[in-house]
Structure 1
C-alpha cells in the first residue's frame, strides 16, 4: 500500500482570495565580482544654529529661583506632604493631570530632594529645566518647560513636565 501526501493549499490572501507568500530579497554585504565596492556617502548634516540667549543674568537668576521653587513644591506634592491643589496656578491642566497620576503611582519611602538643577533659556520668556532628584534611594531625572505669564502672583507656569 502506497501513501501519497497531498499538499494542502495555503490560506487565501486578505482581499484577493489568492495565496500570499512572503517576498524575500537577497541582501548582500560585500560587493559582487567586478564591482568597485564604492559606498554611497550621505551629505554631512548641517550644524545646528547657535542658541542665542537674550536673557540678562538677573533674569536668568530670577527664573532659576522661581522655577526651582515651583519644582520643589511639585516634589512635596509627589511625596504627599502637600495637596495637589497647591500646584493649580503653577501648572497647565495636562501637566497637573500627569503629576497627579505620578503621585498616585509612587510609594513614598523617603522624601524626594534636589541634587542638581540646570536651567536654559532658549527664547525670551521660556525656561527649560533639568533636575536630578534623589528619590527612594535612586537618582531620577525631572525635565520641565516653563513659560513666563503676565500673572503678577505666579510669574512662571509649567507647560511640560516629565519624570524619568
Structure 2
C-alpha cells in the first residue's frame, strides 16, 4: 500500500500529495473514560443546608478578635497587573504615551486624579530634561525614566499596593500606587509621584 498519491504537475503548480492520517489520534470526548476523584472513605458534602457563620458580637469591655496579619508579597495576578501599570506609567513619564492612556487602567471614580498625577509627572520630567545641560549643551538623547526597584504588598485579597523607585539621569523619584480587583480586572485607585 502506498502512503501518498501523486498527481502530475501541470505548469508551475507543485504535485499534490495525499498522506494517510497517523495511527495515533487523540480520543474523542465521548470515548474518554470519566475520571473519578472520590475515594470509598470520602464523605459527601451537603450544600443545601450550608450556612455562613457570622462573628459573634463582642461583649462590652472585651477586645475584638485580632485580624489576620498582612503577608508581604502579592499574588501572581497582582504582580502582573502592577508590572503592566508601572510599565505604562514609565511610558507616560518618558513621553512615549499621553497621560490619558492611564484612564483605561483606573477606576472611573479615581481616573481623573490618576491621569492628573501622570500628567504632572510627565511635565516634571520634561522640565528636568529642559534644564539639564552637560557642559553648557543640552544632551542629544536625554536619559529615560527607568525602574530601579519595585516593592509589592497585598494587604487584603483583591487589593495590592506598590512602591516604585524611579531614576532619570541623576535624579531619583518615588511612585506609590494602589490597584484593586473589580469585576475580574485590576484598576488603579491611587497614584502618587514624589
Alignment of 1:54-73 (within 5 A): 60-73=75-88
Q: Is 1:137 the equivalent of 2:167? A: no
> SS of the counterpart of 1:131?
strand
* Alpha-carbon distance between aligned partners in 2 of 1:116 and 1:105, rounded to the nearest angstrom: 20
Q: Distance in 2 between matches of 1:95 and 1:69?
A: 15
Give 1:15-30 correspondences, 5 Å limit.
none
TM-score (norm 2): 0.51
> What TM-score do you get using the length of structure 1 for normalisation?
0.59
- CA RMSD, aligned part only? 2.4
The residue that corresponds to 2:159 in the other structure is 126
Match of 1:77 among 87, 92, 97: 92
Can you list the C-alpha shifts for 1:110-160, whole angstroms capped at 9, x where unaligned?
Answer: 11111111110001111000111112222221111111121x5xx211111
> Is 1:106–2:138 an aligned residue pair?
no
Who is 2:179 aligned against?
A: 146
Residue 192 of structure 2 is aligned to residue 159 of structure 1: no
* Aligned equivalents of 2:192, 2:152: Cα separation in 1: 15
Question: Which stretches in structure 1 are left out of the alignment for 5+ residues?
Answer: 1-47
- How many residue pairs get aligned? The number is 111
Which ranges in structure 2 are unaligned for 5 or more consecutive residues? 1-65, 130-141
1-side partners of 2:124 and 2:171: how far apart?
A: 16
Q: Is the 8 A contact 2:103 2:115 kept in 1?
A: yes
Q: Structure 1 runs of 4+ off > 4 angstroms?
A: none
Alignment CA distance shift 1:138-1:105 (3 Å): closer
SS at 1:156's partner residue?
Answer: strand
